[in-house]
Amino acid sequence: MNNSHHDKKTLHQSPQNILENIYGYSEFRGNQLAIVEAAISGRDCLVLMPTGGGKSICYQIPALVKPGTTIVISPLIALMQDQVSALQQLGINASFLNSTQSNSEQSSVLEQVKMGTLDLLYIAPERINQPITRQWLQNCEISLIAIDEAHCVSQWGHDFRQDYLLLNQLKSDFPNVPRMALTATATPRSQQDIVDNLELNDPLKFISSFDRPNIHYTVVAKTDAKKQLLRFLTGHRDEAGIIYCLSRKKVESTARWLNDRGLTALPYHAGLDAKVRAENQLRFLREDAVIMVATIAFGMGIDKPDVRFVAHLNLPKSLESYYQETGRAGRDGQPAETFMIYGLDDVVQLSQFIDNSNANIEYKLNERSKLDALLGWCEIIECRRQPLLAYFGEENHEPCNHCDTCQKPPKTWDATQAAQKLLSCVYRLGQRFGLAHTIDVLRAKQTEKVDQFNHQKLSTYGIGADLSQNQWRSIARQLIVRGFLLVDASRYNSLQLTSTSRSLLKGDLSLQLREDVSEPRLKKEPRKHTNGVSAQDSALWDALRECRKQLADEHDVPPYMVFHDATLMEMMELHPQSEAELLNISGVGESKLAKFGSAFIAVISEHAEAV
Ligand code: ADP
Ligand code: ZN
C-alpha cells in the first residue's frame, strides 16, 4: 500500500488542519465546518447545497477525523472511480464497491474495511441493500454514512431510484452510526421526502443559499442562432463548455459545424453508441477546452469543476431544469457564463410535446405553466437572478448586477398599439393562421399564401410595415407569455385570441413590453477570457497548463485532479519558487506538493528567467 497515505489515528488532526494540510485550502466555506462538527458529534444531518458548494468535504473530513470507515452511498457508479482517484491524489485511503469489479477486488475492499484501514468506501445503493454486504459492514467499524444525491429518494423528483427507498433500513442496521443526507435539489417537497423516507433522527438541517454568484446569466431571443453562438464563443476560446440542444439531430449538426470552424466539439446524446458516448465524455474530462454538444442526457453527475460556460440553443423544460443545467458551469467557483438563445419555434415545439404526450390533463397544465414561467423569465425586464432564486424560495435577494438585465436594463416601450394591430390581424385571419403568415400580412408581404387566400384585401394588410419581422416575433412571444394570445398546437399552431385579448383590443389596458432583446449588441473589443488571463501572462499560463496536462496523463487522471484552474491562476500571480511558497497556494496540499510540486516550480522558474 502507498505509504504516503495519512494515518489519521496517529495524526489526530483537527478539521482545520486537515483542510489546510490535505486539501490545501485555508478556510471552510459557508456551513462546511458546522456540518463537519455535527457529523463528528454524532448527529444526523440534512445538507442542501448547490452544485459546486463543496458538499464532499462535509463527509470526507469527518471520515478522516473519526476512527473507522465512512460509507458514501452514490447512484453514480460511473463516477466512483473518478471520486476515488481524486481522493487518492490527496493521499486519502479510499475505495469503491460496485458491479464493475471482479469478485476478488470486491473481497479485498471489504477486507480493508474490516481491518479499519479504509477511510472512505463509495458504494452503490443496490449494493448496500444486499443483505450479505450489509451484514459484513455491520461487523466493521463504521464512522458515518453519507447519502449523496439524496433527492433520489423522492418519488416526486426527477431522479427517483427505487433502491433509495430501502435505505431507511440503515437506521436499524447501524443504530449508532450518524447519517448525512446531501443534495443539490432545493424544492421543499424533496427536502421533506428525504427526512421522512430515510427516517433521519432529528436531523440538523443545513440549508445554503442556492445562489451561484460566479455564474453570469444572459438570455437572447433568436435571430441568427449560429452567429449569436459564435459571438458568444469568441469570449471563451480555449475553455471547456457545454452546449445543450433539444434534438439529437441538432446536436450532431451543431458539433459538426463547430468543428468546421476549428473548435473541438464532441456530440453526446442517448442515440449514440455507448462506447462513443463514454469516449466523448472521457475526452471532455481529460482534455483542455473541449466543447460538449449534448442533449440533456449529458450532465447528471458530471463532476468537472472547470466548465467555463453552458449555452442553451433551445429552451430547457423549466426554470428548475435551467438552473440545474447551467449549474454545471463554474463548480470551481471561478467566473462562468451561461447563455441561452430562445425562439418562438421552441415555444411551439415544447407546447406540442406537452399537448401530444399521453399524460393526464393535470400534468399537462402543470408542464404548461412551468414553460410559461420560463418564458416569462426569458423576457423579464428586471434582474434575472432574483426570480430564479425566488423560484427556490429565496425571496430576499437584491438585484445582482451580474446578469444581462442588471448590467444593461432592457428598454421598454408602449406596445399597446402594436399589440392591437397584431390581435386584430389574428382576428381578421379567422384565428386560423400561424405567426409567420400573420406577420407577412401585417408587413404586406406578397407571398403565395397571401395570394391564395386573397389576404391583401384584409383591412389589416400592411398596417404593421413599420416593424421588422423579428420585432413582430418578439411582440407575439410576449403576448403569448402574458396570456393575450394562444398558440393552438392541435390546429397547425394557429394563433387565437383569449378572453383578455378583448380588453387590450378595446383599449381598456395598456401594455409595456421590452424592446426586442435580439438585436446584436456589438462589442468593439474582443472580450477578455472569463478566466481573466491577459496577454503577457499567457505564455506562463500555457506552460502551466501544459505541465498539468503531462502530469495528468502520467497519473492517468483528468487535469483538474492535478490542480484546478484557480490554483494555476494563483501560481501565475504569486510566482512561487519554493516548496514552502507553493504550499501557500490554495489547492496545494502535502500529497500534491510531493507529487507535482517540483515540476511546477521548474516551469515557474524557467518563465521568471525568460522574462
Ligand atoms: P459539490 O459536491 O457540492 O458540487 P464539491 O464537493 O465537488 O461540490 O466541491 C466543489 C469544488 O469546490 C471542489 O473543487 C472543491 O475542491 C472546492 N472546495 C470545496 N470546499 C472548499 C473550500 N473550503 N475552499 C476552497 N475550495 C473548496
Ligand atoms: Zn441581476
Same domain (yes/no): 298, 392: yes
Domain boundary, last residue among 177, 207, 237? 207
Give me the percent of the chain exceeding a pLDDT of 70: 93
Nearest 10 degrees: Cα torsion 449, 455, 456, 458? -160
Beta bridge partners of 565: none
* 28 pocket-lining for ligand 1 (C-beta < 6 Å): yes
Say what the pLDDT of residue 432 is: 94
Q: Are both 150 and 33 inside the same structural domain? A: yes
The per-residue pLDDT for range 54-76, each reduced to its tens digit, is: 999 999 999 999 999 999 999 88
Mean pLDDT, range 235-244, rounded to an integer = 94
Residues 397 and 337 in one domain: yes
Tell me: do 377 and 437 sit in the same domain: no
Q: Answer with the residue of higher pLDDT: 569 or 518.
A: 569
What is the pLDDT at residue 528?
A: 44
360 alpha carbon – ligand 1 mean position (Å): 42
In a domain, 196, yes or no: yes
State whether 396 and 416 are in the same domain. Answer: no
Give the pLDDT confidence of 158-201 residue by residue, as tens digits.
Answer: 678 899 999 999 999 999 999 999 998 867 788 899 999 999 99
Give the range with max mean pLDDT: 7-16, 213-222, 372-381. 213-222
Rounded CA-CA distance 235/216 in Å is 13
Strand order in the sheet with 69-73: 94-97, 120-123, 69-73, 142-147, 179-183, 45-48, 204-207
Judgement on whether residues 223 and 197 belong to the same structural domain of the protein = no
Cell triple for 7: 494515518
**Is 202 found in the same domain as 232?**
no
> For the chain, what percent of residues have pLDDT higher than 90?
62
CB of 83 within 6 A of ligand 1: the answer is no
Q: What is the mean pLDDT of residues 255-274?
A: 94
The set of cell numbers assigned to 150 is 439524496
Name the closest-CA residue to atom 26, ligand 1.
Answer: 25
Measured by CA distance, the residue closest to atom 27 of ligand 1 is 54
Least confident of 105-109, 113-117, 225-229, 368-372: 368-372
3-state helix, strand, coil in the chain (%, to 5): 50, 15, 40
Domain boundary among 392, 407, 422: 407
**What is the best residue among 74, 90, 147, 331 to mutate for testing ligand 1's pocket, by most ligand atoms within 8 Å of CB?**
331
167 shares a domain with 140: yes
Q: Is the CB of 52 under 6 A from ligand 1?
A: yes
The DSSP code for 403 is B
Query: What's the whole-number mean pLDDT along residues 205-210?
Result: 92
The pLDDT of residue 6 is above 90: no
Number of domains in the chain: 4
Q: Which domain holds residue 398?
A: 215-407
563 CB within 6 A, ligand 1:
no
Q: Tell me which H or E stretch contains 106.
A: helix 103-115
| 589 pocket-lining for ligand 1 (C-beta < 6 Å) | no
- The position carrying cell 489526530 is 12
Going by their DSSP bridges, the two strands 336-342 and 307-312 should be labelled as parallel
Q: Which of 21, 57, 300 has most ligand 1 atoms within 8 Å of CB, for mutation?
A: 57
Atom of ligand 1 at shortest range from CA of 49: 3
- CB of 183 closer than 8 Å to CB of 48: yes
Q: Would the pLDDT of 543 be above 70?
A: yes
Q: What average pLDDT does this structure show over 146-164?
A: 87
pLDDT, position 2: 42
User: Residue 217: helix, strand or coil by DSSP?
Assistant: strand
> How far is the CA of 287 from the CAs of 87, 263, 565, in angstroms?
20, 13, 13
In the predicted structure, residue 410 carries a pLDDT above the cut 70: yes
CATH at 134? 3.40.50.300
The answer to which of 43-47, 203-207, 215-219, 345-349 has the lowest mean pLDDT is: 345-349
Domain assignment present for residue 260? The answer is yes
Residue with CA closest to ligand 1 atom 5: 54
The enclosing H or E element of 105 equals helix 103-115
Q: Is residue 220 part of a domain?
A: yes
Question: Which residues are paired to 384 by β-bridges?
Answer: none
| One domain, residues 17 and 159 | yes
Same domain, 371 and 510: no
How distant is the alpha carbon of residue 437 from its chain centre?
38
Residue 227 carries which DSSP code? H
- Cβ neighbourhood burial of 24 (10 Å; 0-12, 13-18, 19+): buried
User: Which atom belonging to ligand 1 lies closest to the Cα atom of 148?
Assistant: 2
Nearest CA to ligand 1 atom 18: 54
Q: Which residues surround ligand 2, an ion (CB under 5 A)?
A: 383, 385, 400, 403, 406
Return the number of other C-beta atoms located less than 10 Å from residue 257's C-beta.
15
In short, whether 592's Cβ falls inside 6 Å of ligand 1 is no
